[in-house]
Structure 1
Amino acid sequence: MEICGSFVVYKALNDMVYYFIPICYSVHVTLEKVNYPVPAFCTMYAIISNVFGSSQALTTVTVAITAFVLVYLNKQLTMGPRDCYLYIIVLFIPAAMFTVLGIFKQLGPNGYFCNYDAVKGRISHLVIVSIGFTLIILSTIVLYILISIKAYKQSKKIDAVSKKESLAKKRTLSIAKHASLLISAFFFQFGVFILDGIWRATATPPHWVYFLLTIMSSSGGIVNSIVFYVIRKEPNKSVSPIVTHSGHSNDTKTVDTTMKPDSKVQSTKYPATTHILVSGKRTNNSQSLSSGLKECEL
């Protein structure tokens, strides 16, 4: 699975847990007929929801950093065996941090549900949400702008490069596009948390901020599913430039590698004098088509 595809899956799993906790909370308080559960359960709900909410944010900024390194340095960051480094960054660190906050009673009732305590957790809320989420949003915006600028410049030059480099550049642009979609979904889902955090730093926000926060954050699963559909729907095509005896490239032709069941790939007919230059050697048309299909499978 390519890296952006992995990130989409992880974000989907985060969404599932993140939205499952409010359901458990609502059922719990409804059955007990109370405004809030006992402190231990309230702290547990706050820890789990904040861990997976923070995991969403850290996953998004990791996507932005990965795409930036790929586009500018032409290197793909490794996440370790079975993505273990990613788990440490986006899951274990938030889990340890919010467990410590729970032990020191920074988490509890906030007037609406179990999250940062309305009295004891004001400073923690200011640091983590107001400052932390703002820094994540700003950093992803900057990285996204830089990626977009680079992608735009590369798209201007993509027709002038060789076949192999052209395919690599197209893959780079595709991953940058996928990363921008994931980041946009994050903005839609968690951008309102910044407004809430800044407002709480100075005064108690009005009820409409809470309702907006609930609606926007709860729609994240739908937005992420749309992003996943767009990423998986993108066609797999490659570009095959033709080189003649004179060494000059003819017009670039696109070969669709999608095969239907029980069908054969139709060979593209080229002039008899047309050859493709592969590793410094001229090959015939059948060899060139086979080589092109192998490139498409990479």
Structure 2
Amino acid sequence: MDTECMHINATLAKSGYDIRVFGVGHYCFNLIHATAIFCLLLSLSSAVGVIILLCKSRTGKSFMTWHKHERFLLYRCICDISYGFVHTLDHAHILITKDHVGPSGLCALYALLIVNTCLSEGLFSLTSALNAFLSVYFRKNVNFGNKDWKLLLLLGIGPFLIAVLVCSLGVLGPNGFFCAFDSVKGVIANAVMSTGMTSAILVALFTFYVLTWYRIYTETKKLKTQLSNNGCARSATLKSAKAMCLFVVVYIIQWTPLSIYGTWQLISDVPFGLFLAVVIMTNLSGVFSGTICLFNKSNKISVSNKDLGERTGHERKS
């Protein structure tokens, strides 16, 4: 990366606060934070719009009667809004003051919330991938409990406890661009979680995705010749699996640049263009949610909550 945008002499630094905000006085400073804020506001607007659209399309119906992929999309949008709101405050503070977020407790809080949301989104994508995989290979529906309480507990409490544990180690703070892992005390934690964990999740998701789509492709060809009730039910299951796979696709697109950046950083200096790509892609989460919504609408995916191992509307009639 352009050395003007990076700290150089950090050998005596005890924490990220001992190092100047990266890029101050250079064009890249305004470019990084203005781009991040623009993407985050776009993401927030998109996520809010998706929630409004989903609620309007299901007016008069209880939440648990929504299609499963619609409930998942709403959960994802809530994560998008949480991440977007906190991260916008973070970048705006740095852009205005041209300094790290202070006091240190506030920066640690921002970092904790950001790490928590990122972990939730990763687990959410893994859950979607696993659900699609089990439905097409083993005809099993993942039981998320009454009103999805098991899923919400997994996405809420689990990541939060991990984020609190990481925070208790004192590794959260300013990384030079925003609040996440401290650029001095959190180097190892950043490598383990931002690079290692993200890469592991991406590999797992890609594997699930390839296997799931291979089975969907092969079974779809067979179903073209089947007109029975079982064939119709299976077709609905495959359609629902396709909808769930969209969550996997957007996560891979969104977070692959970060994995590449983290790996590259371990080897040599990172090009500024790659870092800017990371800023853009990781902050457009709500836009990706909007893309999922539009894709589902355009393809008229109409699959009931029972489609992944549950009763379909067609079955209720028969």
TM-score category of the 2 structures, normalised to the smaller one: 0.7 to 0.9
User: 1:1-298 residue pairs with structure 2 within 5 A?
Assistant: 1-29=66-94, 34-203=99-268, 205-235=270-300, 295=315
In structure 2, what is the Cα distance between the partners aligned to 1:94 and 1:30?
29
Structure with higher Rg: it is 1
Displacement of 1:234 after TM fit? Answer: 3.4
CA distances 1:146-190 after superposition (whole Å, capped 9, x unpaired): 111111111121134352111111112101211222211112211
In structure 2, what is the Cα distance between the partners aligned to 1:37 and 1:76?
47
In structure 2, what is the Cα distance between the partners aligned to 1:237 and 1:127?
40
Are the counterparts in 1 of residues 94 and 178 from structure 2 also a CA contact under 8 Å?
no
In structure 2, what is the Cα distance between the partners aligned to 1:196 and 1:97?
23
- Answer 1 or 2: which has greater strand percent: 1
Are the counterparts in 1 of residues 119 and 159 from structure 2 also a CA contact under 8 Å?
yes
DSSP-derived class of the 2:224 partner: helix
Are the counterparts in 2 of residues 182 and 227 from structure 1 also a CA contact under 8 Å?
yes
Structure 2 counterpart of 1:161, one-letter code: Q
Displacement of 1:67 after TM fit? Answer: 0.4
Tell me the equivalent position of 2:55: none
Tell me the equivalent position of 2:29: none
Q: 1:206 to 1:144 in 2, by over 3 A?
A: same
In structure 2, what is the Cα distance between the partners aligned to 1:294 and 1:71?
19
Tell me the equivalent position of 1:261: none
Larger RCO (CA within 8 A; separation ≥ 6): 2
CA distances 1:12-59 after superposition (whole Å, capped 9, x unpaired): 111111111122223444666633321101100111011111211111
In structure 2, what is the Cα distance between the partners aligned to 1:114 and 1:198?
20
* Superposition TM-score, scaled by structure 1 size: 0.75
Q: 1:109 to 1:73 in 2, by over 3 A?
A: same
Percent identical residues: 23
- Structure 2 unaligned residues grouped into runs of 5+: 1-65, 304-312
Q: 1:162 to 1:77 in 2, by over 3 A?
A: same
In structure 1, what is the Cα distance between the partners aligned to 2:128 and 2:160?
20
In structure 2, what is the Cα distance between the partners aligned to 1:237 and 1:66?
18
- Alpha carbon RMSD of aligned pairs, Å? 2.3
DSSP-derived class of the 2:173 partner: strand
Q: 1:35 to 1:127 in 2, by over 3 A?
A: closer
CA distances 1:168-219 after superposition (whole Å, capped 9, x unpaired): 1111210121122221111221111101221333455343333211111122
Displacement of 1:106 after TM fit? Answer: 0.8
In structure 2, what is the Cα distance between the partners aligned to 1:30 and 1:159?
57
In structure 2, what is the Cα distance between the partners aligned to 1:101 and 1:216?
25
In structure 1, what is the Cα distance between the partners aligned to 2:230 and 2:212?
18
In structure 2, what is the Cα distance between the partners aligned to 1:83 and 1:67?
16
Q: 1:112 to 1:27 in 2, by over 3 A?
A: closer
In structure 2, what is the Cα distance between the partners aligned to 1:222 and 1:237?
22
In structure 1, what is the Cα distance between the partners aligned to 2:224 and 2:316?
17
Number of equivalences: 244
Structure 2 counterpart of 1:10, one-letter code: Y
Q: 1:9 to 1:181 in 2, by over 3 A?
A: same
Structure 2 counterpart of 1:221, one-letter code: G
Tell me the equivalent position of 1:283: none
Displacement of 1:236 after TM fit? Answer: 6.5
In structure 2, what is the Cα distance between the partners aligned to 1:23 and 1:15?
12
